[in-house]
Amino acid sequence: MKKAILGKKLGMTQLFDENGVLIPVTVIEAGPCRVTQKKTVENDGYEAVQIGFGEKKEKHTTKPMQGHFKKAGTAYMKYLKEFKLDGAADLNVGDEIKADVFAEGEMIDVTGITKGKGYAGTIKRWGTHRGPMTHGSGYHRGPGSLGACSTPSRVMKGKKLAGHLGVEKVTIQNLKVVKIDAEKNVIAIKGAVPGPKGGMVIIKDSVKA
């Protein structure tokens, strides 16, 4: 991994390229992030950096984390994430990572937590078929047959049933950076990104591009 940054999803809009083609984009406030800890081979056995994004008040920060941020000499951060970057040795505690670490036209991977949909039935959660709606049928949106009869006399593990839908970690690969505003630390990415407005996302250089 060469580059990575934390950001906040602001929403979606649309842009036009030089040929007048409409491009749907997701706008992300990417950074500024601060390096809050540096892992080295001598001390930790591997090289990595911990970066923080989004400031918060002291009263919302636990005493151990207050000491962690004071040692780093940074403000109290809302989100922390560790990355094993190729150039981790060149970064130092307190360094700032901004949106211009990426370039327009670059391919990236974006990770986020999907929207929570609450308790959902099998049709919405797994896309199963409903029952007939006519001819006197009283069975419409049920889960269907659950298992065998006398053998093994139970529902098999992994059966797709109703349950909690959403709030899952999802990564969308090979998204294109359409535009970057370095002054406002905003990145416009082509297509949709997981999560609700205001949700934290992780932007990394693409592993497949």
Tokens matching residue 112: 């986020």
Condensed to tens digits (0 to 9), the pLDDT of residues 131-175 reads 999 999 999 999 988 878 888 888 889 999 999 999 999 999 999
Tokens of 131: 């029952």
Q: Return the beta strands (E) in 65-151 as ranges.
A: 77-83, 96-97, 107-113, 118-120
pLDDT tens per residue, range 52-77 = 998 889 899 999 999 999 988 888 99
pLDDT for 145 equals 85
pLDDT band at 93 (very low <50, low <70, confident <90, very high): confident
Type of residue numbered 61: T
Torsions phi, psi for 207 (to 5 deg): -85, -10
**pLDDT tens digits, residue range 37-57?**
888 888 888 889 999 998 889
pLDDT of 2 strictly over 90: no
Query: Long-range contacts for 173-176 (Cβ within 8 Å, ≥24 apart)?
Result: 173/109, 173/206, 173/207, 173/208, 174/107, 174/109, 174/206, 174/208, 174/209, 175/107, 175/108, 175/109, 175/110, 175/206, 176/105, 176/106, 176/107, 176/108
CB atoms under 10 Å from CB of 193, counted, come to 21
CA atoms within 13 A on the CB side of 97: 29
Q: Are 3 and 102 in contact (CB under 8 A)?
A: yes
The structure tokens 């081979």 sit at 41
Which H or E element spans position 15?
Answer: strand 4-16
